[in-house]
Amino acid sequence: MFSPAARRYVLASDRAGFFEQAVRLRSRGYRVSAEFVGPDQGATDALHAEHVVEEHLRLLDQEPAPDRIGVDVSRIGLAHSAQTALRNTGRLAAAAALRGSEVVLLMEGSEDIDTVLAVHDALVNRYDNVGITLQAHLHRTVDDAMAVAGPGRTVRLVMGSSAEPAGTALSRGPALEDRYLDLAELLVDRGVRLSLATPDAEVLAGAQERGLLERVQDIEMLYGVRPELLRRHRAAGRPCRIHAAYGMNWWLPLLRRLADNPPMVLNALADIGRDREPVAHQAY
């Protein structure tokens, strides 16, 4: 019933569809990151982890390979063991390096941060194509940012949308917006190749006032979220990236997009029961 709503935010149901749509988006001047979301987002066994790794390897074997893949470490072995997650992430980093692609570790919530950072730390000196996602709303992120920052390192900075206790994270509002911009400034000052991953127009305006938009690697938004805003930045000549999910397990990407931009709940509700494909892609 909800699949029409999900298709507003999921680029394609399979790899072939992803590449077809990604080529179209790249022809319009966008960079496109790939994230695989299927078949069973909640599975944690070793067999499922291997399936996800193999899908990423096939993705990287396509022509043209995506310039960046987003990897959820919890889905490639972390639930089995940290060593399995490290080994599988290393396999992807090595394969991506051969294609000139980046592997950026995704991050949601605070539960697995230390383990994901440990995987990043273990690989980043061996593979310069490994990056990390940081969540601005978490109080610990200032320290984490200083730990991972360095010339040429890749960081994807998000606001953070997971529900966290007040002692762990800031809620949405001016304090979080200021922290996001402060973190962005800290990271680029240290030579980081930074993706500003936010659909917040006011935050991006603040970044422009601070001169950050000329210093970051790109402005990134999730597929289907504020395409008209990203289009305006692209038209202004700024590098713009679309983080695009593909796969049959659409529920998590839908929730993530709605959490990232709550007003889009109305769009999702409007899509319920529709048979036609959403036209989000036309907005780019």
pLDDT in tens, the chain (284 residues): 446 666 778 899 899 999 999 999 999 999 999 999 876 655 557 788 999 999 999 999 999 999 999 999 999 998 888 999 999 999 999 999 999 999 999 998 788 899 999 999 999 999 999 999 999 999 999 999 999 999 999 999 999 977 788 889 998 899 999 999 999 999 999 999 999 999 999 999 999 999 999 999 999 999 988 999 999 999 999 999 999 999 887 666 666 666 666 665 555 545 544 555 555 667 89
258-to-5, 7, 20, 140, 281 alpha-carbon distances in Å: 11, 13, 25, 25, 17
Domain ranges of the chain: 3-271
131, 107 in Cβ contact below 8 A?
no
Q: What one-character DSSP code corresponds to residue 282?
A: G
Backbone angles phi, psi at 243, to 5 degrees: -90, 110
Determine whether the annotation assigns residue 107 to a binding site.
yes
Distance of CA 242 to the CA centre of its chain: 9
232-to-30, 174, 214, 219, 238 alpha-carbon distances in Å: 12, 24, 15, 11, 9
Domain 3-271 listed as CATH 3.20.20.220: yes
Distance of CA 208 to the CA centre of its chain: 22
Residue 44: the pLDDT is 58
